[in-house]
Structure 1
Amino acid sequence: MADLVPGLSVGALAQLRYTGKGPRYRKPTPRTVLYDEREVLDWIEASARTSTADAA
């Protein structure tokens, strides 16, 4: 899913999973992480800001 978001690496996604700040994911096996494309796009939309003064 890192290829869907420019500048987002696999490592960054792992860190977002760890902190609970990333998009929802599924983990059907211990080494497999799956993302639903619509949920990733919704996560991106939820991060939209209109000003640098907006609280993150």
Structure 2
Amino acid sequence: EYFPSYSPEVNPVEQVWRKVKRWLALILWTNKDELGDQLISAFESDLAMVPIYDYLLL
């Protein structure tokens, strides 16, 4: 079986980071603490949820 060396479309973690980066790009921070707080809230919210069953069916 052939597995490509880099295939972000089939890696759920890459999909999560893509969503989080898009969301974080819309916000302006004045310091690192605000960035950290927003990043934590992104992962605690449903924003970072990726339906894993899509990847299990590949």
TM-score, length-scaled by structure 1: 0.27
Larger Rg: 2
Per chain length, whose mean CA-contact separation is higher, i.e. which structure has more relative contact order (CA < 8 Å, sep 6+)? Answer: 2
User: 1 or 2, which has the higher helix percentage?
Assistant: 2
User: 1 or 2, which has the higher strand percentage?
Assistant: 1
